[in-house]
Amino acid sequence: MAASFFFRPFNSAAALSDFSGRHEMKDEGSGDAGRDGNRGPPAPIRQNAEGEYRNTDGHHRVTALRKVTALTGEDRVTGVTTTDGRTFPADLVVVGVGIIPNSELAQEAGIACDRGIVVDDCSRTSDPAVVAAGDCTARRMPDGALLRLESVQNAIEQGKSAAAALLDRARPFVAAPWFWSDQYDVRLQMAGLSAGHDRIVVRGAPETRKFSVFYFRDDQLIAVDSINRAPDHIAARKLLDAGRSPSFAQAGDEAFGLAGLLK
């Protein structure tokens, strides 16, 4: 079970311990639920989740932290202590604890569940009369693994597949997963699944807060995380959907047009 702490330091705004909407089950039945956020994003992404942010209300300080070990205070909270021994003053703490799919109804109906309602790529459950879509599902992938994704795209695309399945039409959801999150003036966009990557290359300069991290496995592009670089994200989704991959050098070379690979 994962926990994210959002706390408001005195005279400031907010801090967060984690950001990512990806939840992947790597080993079916092992209980070993991997999560990109557990391993933590690569340094350029993590560092860009920290720092001074500006929005219409003024300045906000956002700090990406590892783990919270204790809350301090008597009648009410006064601070949050982290694994590095630091204590941050806080007068409000919001704790988000894990995600448990509400699959009781499906379980009671005898539908196969495994940390979510098990569905195929057409959102069909083990009961031919029942479909399921969204956060409550665990999708069976071609390699047999179960994949849980918690994102708006996943819910919408699985919903479309489910509606088609009810009409006896197969509309598989096979597009690369994508996710976005706006953190004040930082737009984080993720395409594909980076778990299992063996190399990364950065496109653009992290200090400009406009860059992307390209993840490769066996020289094949598997995911791209973009900070304030929507064109990279759009190209990445198209490349991943088309099964095309830039070389490692091309991905890191801003002069190389990724869209050219799609012609």
Ligand X SMILES: Cc1cc2nc3c(=O)[nH]c(=O)nc-3n(C[C@H](O)[C@H](O)[C@H](O)COP(=O)(O)OP(=O)(O)OC[C@H]3O[C@@H](n4cnc5c(N)ncnc54)[C@H](O)[C@@H]3O)c2cc1C
Binding ligand X by CB under 6 A: which of 94, 95, 100, 152?
A: 152
> Smallest distance from the beta carbon of 151 to ligand X, in angstroms?
4
Coil/strand/helix, residue 31: coil
Binding ligand X by CB under 6 A: which of 50, 91, 135, 253?
A: 135
Binding of ligand X by 121 (CB under 6 A): no
Binding ligand X by CB under 6 A: which of 18, 24, 36, 150?
A: 150
Which phi and psi (to 5°) does residue 102 adopt?
-80, 80
With contact defined as beta carbons under 8 Å apart, do 172 and 121 qualify?
yes
The Cα–Cα gap between 218 and 220 comes to 5
The Cα–Cα gap between 173 and 140 comes to 11
Which phi and psi (to 5°) does residue 121 adopt?
-70, -5
Residue nearest to ligand X (CB): 134
Residue type, 62: V
Binding of ligand X by 93 (CB under 6 A): no
Binding of ligand X by 123 (CB under 6 A): no
With contact defined as beta carbons under 8 Å apart, do 6 and 93 qualify?
yes
> Smallest distance from the beta carbon of 134 to ligand X, in angstroms?
2
Binding ligand X by CB under 6 A: which of 94, 97, 100, 105?
A: 105
Binding of ligand X by 181 (CB under 6 A): yes
Q: What does the radius of gyration of the chain's CA atoms come to, in whole angstroms?
A: 20
In terms of CB distance, is 16 or 201 closer to ligand X? 16
Which residues inside 20-49 make contact with ligand X, applying CB under 6 A? 21
Strand order, beta sheet including 92-97? 15-16, 3-8, 92-97
> Smallest distance from the beta carbon of 201 to ligand X, in angstroms?
25
What is the DSSP-derived secondary structure letter of residue 136? T
> Smallest distance from the beta carbon of 72 to ligand X, in angstroms?
25
Residue with the two structure tokens 């989740």:
49
Residue type, 163: A
Binding ligand X by CB under 6 A: which of 151, 183, 212, 226?
A: 151
Compute how many residues bind ligand X; rule: CB under 6 A: 13
Strand order, beta sheet including 178-183? 178-183, 186-192, 220-227, 210-217, 199-205
Binding ligand X by CB under 6 A: which of 69, 72, 102, 220?
A: 102
Binding of ligand X by 2 (CB under 6 A): no
Binding ligand X by CB under 6 A: which of 180, 184, 248, 256?
A: 180
Reading the block at residue 194, the tokens are 């980076």
Binding ligand X by CB under 6 A: which of 41, 44, 79, 134?
A: 134
In terms of CB distance, is 5 or 179 closer to ligand X? 179
The Cα–Cα gap between 236 and 242 comes to 10
Residue numbers of the site for ligand X (CB under 6 A)? 21, 102, 105, 134-135, 150-153, 155, 179-181
